[in-house]
Amino acid sequence: MDNRIDQRFKLLKSKKESAFIPFITAGDPSLEVTRGLILELERCGADIIELGIPFSDPIADGPVIQASYYRTLAKGLRVEDVFRLVKDVRKETDIPIVSMVSYSIVFKIGVEKFLVSAKESGFDGATIPDLPVEESQALIRSASEKDFRIVCFAAPTTTPDRMEQIAKGTQGFLYYMSVVGITGVRDSLPKDMKENICRLKRLTDKPIALGFGISTPEQAKIAGSVADGVIVGSALIKELERNIDKSPSEIIKAVGQLAGKLSAGAKGRV
């Protein structure tokens, strides 16, 4: 059987649509809300869920996601809780779920054990932002055997020879960081974005998803017009943060509404 991520991109390709990939933190503000959010995001037009596993020292992430991680870790969230959550939500949805996880966590748990547990719980892949492509070869091989996708990153600063290596190594899709720097909300998208994506498309047939700094439906529309997928994280977490004192159903509704608009943008319907 095909991996869910591959299936989804195949389907979207036939519909000539870009994927909308929202990012949320597992356990923020509670596992119950995360569970509800995954289902709500799917209803609101998400194609793939990127689920962040909280880490104490997330160097690739900006203040919004870091604060979200801290809130969650302060409540004592463990990685096994995240696996349990995905296992539970899998009973109700077939949406592809990709974990965003630091190599510090993967290494500590053990590469093999992490891959097996993630796959068994219902994750379809992982992005490991602090594991550069040259360090990920063995991990990618092992993941391949398990039909588990390791999504690699490319950045505007990536040199052409590395770009080739990354395009070759990545699985499921390629995560292109549209700006130099950390995740977060920005006012504009960089000009060289389109050019860089075209360069990548010449190197690979794999879908390319754009992330980092996309926060409005208009930006999602621009991103969706050049890339095969649009990833939005900080803007959604910010919306969650704004509503954090409300009831679980209100939080889920608020984040879902924003996701709906972003999804429409990513699919060119605004």
Query: Whole-number minimum distance, CB 64 to other proteins, in Å?
Result: 12
Query: Which residues on adjacent β-strands are paired with residue 230?
Result: 20, 210
To other proteins, the closest distance from the beta carbon of 130 in angstroms equals: 5
Residue 89 DSSP SS3: helix
Q: Which two tokens stand for residue 118?
A: 């993630």
Three-state DSSP class for residue 49: strand
Q: How far is the CB of 256 from other proteins (least distance, A)?
A: 29
Interacting residues with other proteins between 166 and 195 (CB under 8 A): 166, 177, 179-182
CB of 170 closer than 8 Å to CB of 152: yes
∠ CA(244), CA(41), CA(267), 5° rounding?
125
Residue among 10, 56, 250, 257 that touches other proteins (CB under 8 A): 56
Backbone angles phi, psi at 39, to 5 degrees: -70, -40
For other proteins, give the closer residue by CB, 137 or 247.
137
d(CA 14, CA 251): 34
Q: Does 64 bind other proteins (CB under 8 A)?
A: no
Select the span of 118-126, 154-162, 220-228, 260-268 touching other proteins (CB under 8 A): 154-162
Helices 111-121 + 79-90 axis angle, to 10: 30
130 counts as binding other proteins under rule CB under 8 A: yes
Task: Determine the interface stretch with other proteins among 37-45, 152-160, 189-197, 259-267 (rule: CB under 8 A).
Answer: 152-160
Interacting residue ranges for other proteins, rule: CB under 8 A: 55-60, 62-63, 66-67, 70, 73, 78-79, 102-109, 129-135, 152-155, 157-159, 162, 166, 177, 179-182
